[in-house]
Structures are given as C-alpha cells and as structure tokens.
C-alpha cells in the first residue's frame, strides 16, 4: 500500500511541476489566443539565468530565483513587443509560426553560450535527506517545487479574479474590440500576459533544473510535454492546468508503476497522455475546464 501512496505523492509532485510549466501557456492563451510553442525555450532560459546568477554572480539562490523571474518577465515582455505585437489580427497560423521561429532563435542564442551543449547542476541549497513519513518519501527540492507551484497558482488566480489588470486581461481575451472601446489597452495586456508567462516559466525552469540538472534538450522538451496537460485542462483555464497537471502526473506514475515491465510494455508513461488526449478531444473538445466558444456567423 505504501507503494501506491508513494506513487500518488510522486504523481502529485510531477503533476504540480507540469502545472507550473503549463501556467505560462495558459496565461498567454487566455489573454491573446496565441499558442506559444517557444515556451520550453523560455523555461530553459529562466533556468539558465537563475544558474548564472547563482554560480557566476554568487547571488544567494533564493534571491537569484526571484531576480531570474523578474528578468524573464521583462525579456518575455520585450519578445512580445518585438515579434508578436506586429501580428495582432493576423491568422492564427502566422502567430503559431512566429513562436516556432522564436523557438529557433532562442535555440540559436542559447547555443552561443556554454549552456547549449554542456551540463550543469545547481549547487545543493536544500537538505539532501528526504522527508520520510510512513515509508513515503519526498525530497526538499520536490517539496519546494510543489510549494512554489501552489503559491504562484494562488497568486495568478487572485490576480485574474480581483485585480483591475487581471480583469482587463480577461476582458481582452473575451472580446478585443469591446474591451478596446471601454479603454483597455490591448497591446499592453498582451505584453503583460507574455511577461507573466515568462515569470512563471522562469520559476518552472528553476524548479525543473533543480530536479533534472541543467541540460538544454531536457529542459526545452518541457514545452512539448505540457501540451497534453493544457489541452486536458482546457486551454484557457488556470484551474484546469493544475487539475490536468496532477491527473497527468498521476497517470504517468501509475503507468510506469503498474504497466511498465509487467505486460511486456515499457515507456507507456510517455505515450499514454497523448492517447488520452486524442480520445478526450473526440468527446470533450474543450477540455475539462475550457470555455466553450460560441460562434456567430
């Protein structure tokens, strides 16, 4: 039984990291209806900035974690200003392709640095011993990751529900024209959406980097790994991202815990999310918590 609960705990840990990576996605989609394929690269950038600040500039890790979030905040904002601002109103494929272009550009820029093809790991700053309770163990790194995830999700939910800026972001996502007419600056909202997404990506990157070590291809793969999560949760729901993230984490853990190595199967954890996704798309196209679009001719 403790095996089962260990899987549950691990599933929740992995799932909340998925959720954290997915938030950035959802934030951008929620306000500007853009699918950001370069998200994985932004995650990696965030992780590398944190690392450089900690190791090269000798800034305490907690501080550099915050600083990296702030830096990525502005970086993402300027990315939006330079590349995506010009494409407001263009067809959706153009916007998706711009993010693909962006992905390659960031790839190129990262290959200019040692991070492109070398491996690093954060200096240990948390106790190495795991917390063990009734045979179930969780490491401090993972625990901190989960806590950060929930803090950020709480903050963002509050931001969208209560703050004026958040409400204007929701308004823009609902109807750009109408929100413009009541005085909301649409470009500013888009910029802000990217910026907050960048912030959450930096957080995600630093958390993942602490768990897997800093390897560029491992980190940017998270941009793709979170796809099923965001779709499952519905593209524009923060709560959906969290729930779907945890569901995916649990599914993967159970798949590798019970399926792999038993029926001549292996690697099921990798493909199960996509199969689930395809099936779900047929029956519930807008995900678990996504808003139904009502279209009028």
Using the CB atoms, write b or e for 239-278: b if 16+ within 10 Å: ebbbbbbbbbbbbbbbbbbeeeeeeeeeebbeebbeebbe
Q: Phi then psi for 138, rounded to 5 degrees? A: -145, 135
Of 184 and 220, the one with the shorter C-beta distance to another protein is 220
* 128 touching another protein, by CB under 8 A: yes
Residues written for the chain: 297
Touching another protein, residues 249-268 (CB under 8 A): 253-254, 256-257, 260-261, 266-267
Separation of CA 260 from chain center:
27
Candidate list 1, 177, 282, 294; residue touching another protein; CB under 8 A: 282
Residue 97 CB, shortest distance to another protein, in Å, is 5
Least CB distance from residue 159 to another protein, whole Å?
24
Residue with Cβ nearer another protein (170 or 286): 286
5 binds another protein (CB under 8 A): no
Near another protein in 148-167, by CB under 8 A: none
For another protein, which residue of 62, 118, 133, 154 counts as binding (CB under 8 A)?
118
Site for another protein in 48-107 (CB under 8 A): 83, 86-87, 90-94, 96-98, 100-107
Classify strands 136-138 and 131-133 as parallel, antiparallel or unpaired: antiparallel
Residue 134 in the binding site for another protein (CB under 8 A): no
Residues 6+ apart with CB under 8 A from 170: 30, 31, 160
| Nearest to another protein of 186, 211 (CB atom) | 211
Give phi and psi for 120, each to the nearest 5: -135, 165
What are the beta bridge partners of residue 217?
A: none
Choose, by CB under 8 A, the member of 203, 208, 229, 244 that binds another protein. 208
């Amino acid at each position: 039984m403790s095996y089962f609960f260990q899987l549950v705990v691990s599933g929740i840990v992995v799932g909340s990291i998925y959720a954290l990576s997915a938030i950035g996605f959802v934030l951008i989609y929620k306000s500007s209806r853009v699918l950001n394929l370069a998200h994985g690269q932004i995650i990696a950038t965030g992780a590398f900035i944190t690392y450089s600040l900690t190791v090269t500039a000798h800034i305490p890790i907690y501080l550099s974690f915050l600083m990296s979030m702030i830096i990525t905040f502005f970086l993402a904002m300027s990315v939006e200003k330079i590349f995506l601002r010009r494409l407001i109103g263009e067809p959706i494929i153009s916007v998706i392709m711009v993010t693909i272009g962006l992905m390659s550009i960031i790839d190129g820029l990262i290959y200019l640095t040692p991070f492109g093809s070398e491996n690093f790991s954060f200096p240990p700053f948390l106790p190495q011993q795991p917390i063990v309770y009734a045979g179930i163990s969780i490491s401090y790194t993972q625990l901190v990751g989960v806590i950060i995830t929930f803090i950020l999700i709480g903050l963002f939910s509050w931001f969208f529900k209560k703050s004026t800026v958040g409400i204007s972001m929701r308004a823009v996502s609902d109807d750009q024209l109408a929100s413009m007419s009541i005085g909301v600056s649409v470009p500013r909202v888009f910029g802000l959406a990217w910026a907050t997404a960048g912030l959450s990506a930096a957080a995600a990157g630093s958390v993942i980097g602490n768990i897997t070590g800093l390897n560029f291809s491992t980190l940017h793969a998270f941009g793709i790994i979170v796809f099923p999560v965001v779709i499952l949760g519905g593209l524009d729901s923060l709560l959906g991202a969290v729930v779907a993230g945890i569901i995916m984490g649990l599914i993967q853990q159970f798949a590798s815990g019970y399926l792999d190595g038993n029926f001549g199967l292996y690697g099921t954890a990798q493909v199960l999310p996509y199969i689930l996704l395809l099936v779900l798309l047929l029956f519930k196209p807008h995900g678990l918590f996504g808003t139904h679009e009502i279209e009028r001719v």
